[in-house]
Homo-oligomer: A and B are copies of this chain.
Amino acid sequence: MDIGALVFDVFGTLVDWRSGVARDARGLLGPAVDSEALADAWRQKYVPSMERVRRGELPWTALDELHRTSLDELLDEFGVPDVDEPTRAALVLAWHRLDPWPDVPAALARLRRRHVLATLSNGNVSLLVDLARHGGIGWDAVLSAELFGHYKPDPEVYDGAVRLLGMAPGRVLMVAAHVEDLAAARKRGLRTAYVHRPHERGPAASPPPATDPEADLSVSSLTELADALSPEDAG
């Protein structure tokens, strides 16, 4: 593969949303709410909320706002409808403070020596900027669904990234822990790498597949991806 740029899914692939959201929910709401259950329920509303935009039922709405709408529903469902406005705003920002998986910062720094690295996430730009600063990650470009007015897996997102990077789609490698994201990228001509993240959805969830047979590469960490793409930079 002649790869010029790597574009990364972020939630689940690079950062541990479940632990991070649960941690902040625990700190902000106290023991009245099962914080892990709240994190799981919040994430369950993620795809349906974007589907409303993708189907045209909602105009373009950034992820922060979708998160806020979902949170307002959830606080009712979890029996805590009286949570005040500043706490709701702080909870939405929990998604800006998620920790990267332990392999991520060092492996990205290695990969960046020889490749252009960018996000390609449904998170809005300011969220991705905050995550990178929080996690000590340096990007060459922050590419987001927000730039294209479409959420993944709409083809406009992958096509838009390729256009902005100024490369042939076959020189762009999409990296994600979700097979449907990779399948959509492949349809637009990108190369694909699957990362196995068995802990993304917590201990009770059924684990994701260990590999994606359709992807160009399947790895169990970004360290393994860096070893595969930049073996001479090992260590």
Residues of chain A at the chain B interface (Cβ within 8 Å): 64, 116, 124-129, 132-133, 138-142, 146-147, 164-167
How many angstroms between the C-alpha atoms of A58 and B126 in the bound complex? 31
How many angstroms between the C-alpha atoms of A124 and B166 in the bound complex? 9
How many angstroms between the C-alpha atoms of A140 and B166 in the bound complex? 20
What's the nearest-Cβ distance from chain B to residue A151, in Å? 16
B147 contacts A140, CB within 8 Å? no
B146 contacts A164, CB within 8 Å? yes
Q: Is the interface of A mostly helix, strand, loop or mixed?
A: helix
Contact partner, A126, options B64, B125, B166, Cβ 8 Å: B166
A129 contacts B147, CB within 8 Å? no
Q: Which residues of B sit under 8 angstroms from A128, Cβ to Cβ?
A: 141
What's the nearest-Cβ distance from chain B to residue A57, in Å? 22
How many angstroms between the C-alpha atoms of A142 and B166 in the bound complex? 14
Q: Which residues of B sit under 8 angstroms from A124, Cβ to Cβ?
A: 164, 166
Tell me the nearest residue of chain B to A164, going by C-beta: B125
Q: How many copies does the complex hold?
A: 2
A138 contacts B141, CB within 8 Å? no
What's the nearest-Cβ distance from chain B to residue A89, in Å? 12
Tell me the nearest residue of chain B to A133, going by C-beta: B140
Contact partner, A142, options B64, B132, B141, B167, Cβ 8 Å: B141
A141 contacts B116, CB within 8 Å? no
A129 contacts B142, CB within 8 Å? no
How many angstroms between the C-alpha atoms of A132 and B141 in the bound complex? 10
Given contacts A124-B164, A124-B166, 4 further A-B pairs with CB under 8 A are A64-B166, A125-B164, A127-B166, A139-B139
Q: Which residues of B sit under 8 angstroms from A133, Cβ to Cβ?
A: 116, 140
Tell me the nearest residue of chain B to A143, going by C-beta: B125
Q: Which residues of B sit under 8 angstroms from A167, Cβ to Cβ?
A: 126
